[in-house]
Amino acid sequence: MRLALAQLNTVVGDIEGNAGRIADALAAAGEADAGLVLFPELAISGYPPEDLLMRPRFARDCRRAVEELAAGVTRGAAVIGFPEWDGDCFNSAAVVADGRVQAVYRKRFLPNYGVFDEARYFAAGDAPLVVEIAGMRVGIAICEDIWYPSPVASDLAAAGVDLIACISASPWHRGKADARERMLATRAADSAAALAFCNLVGGQDELVFDGRSLVADASGLVTARAPQFSEVLMVADVDRDLAVRRRLREPLGRRLPRAANARAVEIEGVLPSRPAEPVSAVLATPPVPEAEVWEGLVTGIRDYVGKNGFGGVVIGLSGGIDSALTAALAVDALGGDRVLGVSMPSVYTSRRSEDDAAALAAALGIELITLPIADVVAAFEAVLAGAFAGAARDVTEENLQARARGTLLMGLSNKRGALVLATGNKSEMSVGYSTLYGDMVGGFAPLRDISKTWVYRLCRWRNTEAGREVIPEATIERPPTAELRPDQLDTDSLPPYELLDPIVEGYVEDDLDAEDLVARGHDAPTVRRVLRMIDRAEYKRRQGPVGIKVTPRAFGKDRRMPITNGYVAP
């Protein structure tokens, strides 16, 4: 059978637009003589639709769109993900052919951890679904179903399917795609069935979906792999006989208990004849880690800006490495003509910082404007002079500078209809080394889940990849500084990042306590100091902009700690 996997970039809530993307993919799959076309999980509604699912009408509108699409499917069959309302809400897959919906499968495993809240919205299905298409037995699965060896995969194996068709909206984080591919290949081999996995692609708020759809044969060999972070229609052929021969040679499935309600539905309709010549399947090469993270960040920026209707972005350029990386990512995502850089020197800003910001803007080909803030800060201080009388200068005056910059950036955002990109990284956000309503100002924070160590790693990789200084080497080599007081360095307030980042990773991402971290060789006083800073900064992070999930445990939906919290990790 010839398959087409439509790796689409959908928009949550845009039922009409998503249906249009599906219709275009169906037409392209028809031209390729595909007998079965797969679409991502909840392709009609977009994923995750969250509290839109609390409205029964929303699901009914999605069902109507599925039926309208089905009317146009007159050759071959398709599996389309949609939210189904039937006295309750289900995460469902419609099998459409011959102009109508002929079968519906309801997802059985509903993830409710990390960024997932599916048990909040959906009821679980309770039955497997096997359909017969042109003599091939096809088992249907949806995303989380396939991550477990039983009961979904084992039920389908026991039913003797030739192909498992899994539609998915599997969110990306660094390194996940390789682990997911290993799991899918194992499921195919264990089930003695080919497996087609069609994944969503694109950005949705803080989530990015990487695609990397694939087809594995009945031995677990990956025979087709779509590229990451690209919207594509991947066509591949599946040999039914390979699955049949493997089940006869290694009849492990005979020992599996057969599901009492494993029903087989014969799909009616006109199917394309078997192509005379096999298709040359795509087998995209997985990117190196730096390229994967870069493309994930670029995808997240591009889709957040585009899907929310912003004309471009505004970025405060300090001459430092975080704003430089943010600007470089934005240019790759949007183009230089949609990125505005803003230099806002204060009395403490060095000439080097201004020169580095100008060099960056020239290297990226973006507009740069300069808005000196000395007079603005002086005006703030004059207004507050009476209230501050008798108090020594401290971090308060430093924060006034950051807040002056934040106000100017938001003014430009309002006037130009452009989104402010905050430039803070995960290391700073973790320990609260940031100013509320100052450098935390913005509508989106691309580096929110990127440690300072990875900031340097990405900058060096980008320059090497380009064969030139996209990000000025002087910026990369310069010791980090906020320049809010004379001769200030980040290390005045924080441990060096090479010491800080492993502690943050251990505490935030691995849930290690102080004793665990000290046992790993970290200095005990430093560990306890950093952990206190992380806990105390929770209220700041709640008020910051959303950012792109890159690690397995990002702040926000992944890590949900109470702000008011009296527990101190021992």
| Phi, psi (degrees; rounded to nearest 5) at 562 | -70, 145
What distance in Å separates the CA atoms of residue 333 and residue 330, rounded to the nearest whole number? 5
Q: What dotted CATH number matches 2-266?
A: 3.60.110.10
The residues that bridge with 343 in the sheet, in sequence order, are 370
Give the pLDDT confidence of 213-257 residue by residue, as tens digits: 999 999 999 999 999 999 999 999 998 888 888 877 877 777 777
Task: List all residues 6 or more positions away from 544 whose beta carbon is below 8 Å from its beta carbon.
Answer: 422, 424, 429, 434, 440, 445, 448
Task: List all residues 6 or more positions away from 457 whose beta carbon is below 8 Å from its beta carbon.
Answer: 290
Name the active-site residue from 62, 143, 166, 198.
143
DSSP, residue by residue, 514-539: HHHHHHTT--HHHHHHHHHHHHHTHH
Residue 89 falls in the annotated catalytic set: no
CA distances from 339 to 302, 314, 410, 519 (A): 12, 6, 15, 46
Instruction: Write the burial class of residue 306 (CB in 10 Å: 0-12 exposed, 13-18 middle, 19+ buried).
Output: middle
Q: What dotted CATH number matches 289-543?
A: 3.40.50.620
Q: Which pLDDT does position 566 carry in this prediction?
A: 85
CA distances from 289 to 26, 169, 177, 292 (A): 33, 21, 11, 5
Q: Which pLDDT does position 560 carry in this prediction?
A: 87
Contact 380, 466 (CB under 8 A): no
Residue 41 falls in the annotated catalytic set: yes
Name the active-site residue from 62, 107, 398, 426.
107
Q: Which pLDDT does position 260 carry in this prediction?
A: 58
Low-confidence stretches of the chain (pLDDT beneath 50): none
| SS3 track for 434-495 | CCCCCCCCCCEECCCCCCHHHHHHHHHHHHHHHCCCCCCHHHHHCCCCCCCCCCCCHHHCCC
Residue 107 falls in the annotated catalytic set: yes
Name the active-site residue from 41, 118, 206, 483.
41
Contact 149, 256 (CB under 8 A): no
pTM confidence score = 0.94
Residue with tokens 């984080």: 173
Q: Which pLDDT does position 273 carry in this prediction?
A: 66
| Phi, psi (degrees; rounded to nearest 5) at 149 | -70, -20
Q: Which pLDDT does position 262 carry in this prediction?
A: 63
Classify residue 272 by its DSSP letter: P
Q: How many CA atoms lie within 13 A of 371 on its CB side?
A: 18
Helix (H) or strand (E) run with residue 332 in it: helix 321-334
Chain-centroid distance, C-alpha 45: 17
DSSP, residue by residue, 62-95: HHHHHHHHHHT--BSEEEEEEEEESSSEEEEEEE
Residue with tokens 């087609």: 196
Residue ranges covered by each domain of the chain: 2-266, 289-543
| Phi, psi (degrees; rounded to nearest 5) at 44 | -70, -45
CA angle in degrees (0–180, nearest 5) for 323-327-333: 145
Classify residue 562 by its DSSP letter: -
Residue type, 64: R
Give the pLDDT confidence of 455-509 residue by residue, as tens digits: 999 999 999 999 999 999 999 998 887 777 787 787 888 899 999 999 999 999 9
